[in-house]
Chain A
Amino acid sequence: MLTVENLHAGYGTSEVLVGVSLEVKAGTVVALIGANGAGKTTTMRAISGMIRPNRGRVLLDGRPVQDQDAAHIARLGLAHSPEGRKVFGPLTVEDNLLLGAYGRLPRFFGFRARAAADLKNIYALFPRLEERRLQTAGTLSGGEQQMLAIGRALMSKPKVMLLDEPSMGLAPIIVQEVFHTIRRLKETGITLLLVEQFAKSALEVADYAYVMDRGHIAIEGTPAHLREDERVLAAYLG
């Protein structure tokens, strides 16, 4: 569903990614783990078009998208829930969710009715969001904002979802909740690329995993395979 081939990208003249290749098959959860600064977030940003890759290809459902801008890639079916959540603070929870479905809703009127069923699904998944649907997103707690960021990404009914550091800055009990949500999403058959610093939890939920090191993929394999790899054990699961 999502294929990345020999991706090179960076900021200005410094190249952060030096040939990243990975694949996310339809209906699977793939984890991308690695140390801070290994290039996980940069990989996500290069896939979703937030930064333009210098070299390499990104194939979404077989279609090369590496030259498109972020808005266009999003409308082709890739939902990127970015690092730091990036909810629209001054807007209400419900408006945030509606904007998640921007690409497939009418621009002026009738968008609320068209999105009603999808909103209902999101609220079933995250009852807390329904309670706070008219509150501005900036007033939510970190965990609630993460739920909103995931819900917003789901609203677009993506072919592939990128989820970057959903546990960042959250209390351990909330992190558990986030992973519980990811498992439930997995049961629905979502195609997900997950970046996580909690490698252990990420490997528990993933079907396949890549370990990044200094801008490229150092190790890859099934979680069972990686758990027995000495390098992974020493560096990330110790």
Chain B
Amino acid sequence: MYTLLIVQLAVSGALMGMVYALIAYGFQLTFATSKSINFGQGELVMLSAFFSLTLIDSGLPYWLVVPGGMLFGAVLGLFVERTAVRLSLEQKGEGWILLTIILGLLGFSAAENIWGRDDRPFPTPISSDPLHFFGIDVTPLELSVAIGVLAVMGLVELFKRKTLLGKAFEAVSADRDAAQLMGISATRTIQLSYGLSGLVAALAGILVAPITTVGPTMASVLILKAFSVAVVAGLDSGFGIVLVGLFLGALESLTSFYLGSGWREAPGLVLLILALAVRPNGVFGKASIRKV
């Protein structure tokens, strides 16, 4: 029975870890094309969740709320690119770091003013009654998180491999100057990557909201975990990000069981420090570590 309990904890934790992986994947997308990331991504997740909650309150069915919320996230991503990233990249500067943080703070204040400071439940039609697999309980809600994450990551990867636009995306990631010589607009591609990044981050918010509730601070912890996952896995391996996400999620769940829930955030931090100590370059890449 004891082993079963451990497996149970690991599985539940790992399913949550998928959310970290999805947010980290959003970092990967923009880093690949522009070597920049949105440091206000957590607020983007939160704003998209609030927006989706408003859609639900307005009576829209859940199956329309999900794409609606994702679209909102994509628009926010485009907005971040236009206002905080493009100019500083054109000047080959590092201004995007500060600007994306500031945009995040603005988003946070906006959320407090529009939706208030309280955490609110996020209603979902997906059941929380556990299903039993070989003695382990998994709720459909947890499963929906895993399926949603894998589905959207799979679709984006398919887009990158099977369409010419996706290949252009890869070309800009590999060599921006050479891509421009092929007639591929680097600016448009970076825009696209920010749109996609916002889209997947919004989905992460919508998927996790029924479990964590929705509030202005809902994503502040999530985003730290996502950073850890992104740094540990490296910013170019989608597969690695899922693995590390699963691992970190399971580890957290076991840690909080054995050491008490106060220690829940410890594994992410330890993993991050270990990764930076052992493989400082294999992750963000040399130059960017200096930048960030």
Contact = CB atoms under 8 A, between A and B. Distances in A.
Interface stretch (B104-112, B176-184, B203-211): B176-184
B239 to A, nearest CB: 15
B164 interface: yes
Contacts of B174: 88-91
Nearest to A76: B183
Interface residues of B, number: 21
B164 A156 contact: no
B213 interface: no
A108 B165 CA distance: 6
A50 B183 contact: no
A102 interface: yes
Interface stretch (A19-27, A93-101, A211-219): A93-101
B170 A82 contact: no
A99 B184 contact: yes
Contacts of A98: 164, 167
B185 A71 contact: yes
Interface residues of A, number: 32
B156 to A, nearest CB: 14
Output the residue of B162, B179, B186 with the most chain A CB within 10 A: B179
A71 B182 CA distance: 7
A71 B164 contact: no
Nearest to A95: B167
A72 B182 CA distance: 9
A74 B183 contact: yes
B167 A103 contact: no
Interface string B161-177: 01111011011011101
A100 B252 CA distance: 47
Contacts of B179: 88, 99
Nearest to B181: A80
A43 interface: no
A103 B178 CA distance: 14
A48 B181 contact: yes
A50 B178 CA distance: 9
Contacts of A71: 180, 182-186
B183 A102 contact: yes
A74 B254 CA distance: 56
B175 A86 contact: yes
Interface string B85-108: 000000000000000000000000
B182 A91 contact: no
A71 B185 CA distance: 5
B167 A91 contact: yes
A156 B183 contact: yes
Contacts of A48: 181
Interface string A43-72: 000001110000000000000000001111
B165 A99 contact: no
Output the residue of B162, B167, B170, B182 with the most chain A CB within 10 A: B182
Nearest to A89: B174
Nearest to A90: B174
B178 A82 contact: yes
B163 A74 contact: no
A103 B180 contact: no
A95 B164 CA distance: 9
Nearest to B173: A90
Nearest to A105: B164
Given A74-B182, A102-B184, A103-B183, A50 B177 contact: yes
A87 B170 CA distance: 12
Contacts of B182: 71, 74, 99-100, 102-103, 152, 156
A106 interface: yes
A71 B174 CA distance: 16
Contacts of A107: 163-165, 168
Nearest to B178: A86
Contacts of B184: 71, 99, 102
B95 to A, nearest CB: 19
Contacts of A74: 180-183
Contacts of B186: 71
A147 to B, nearest CB: 16
B92 to A, nearest CB: 11
Contacts of A102: 164, 168, 182-184
Contacts of B185: 69, 71-72
Output the residue of B163, B173, B180, B181 with the most chain A CB within 10 A: B181
A91 B163 CA distance: 13
Contacts of A108: 163-165
Nearest to B175: A86
A105 B184 CA distance: 12
Given A82-B178, A88-B171, A102-B168, 6 more contacts: A50-B180, A88-B179, A107-B164, A108-B164, A109-B162, A111-B163
6 contacts: A70-B181, A86-B175, A88-B179, A99-B167, A99-B182, A111-B163
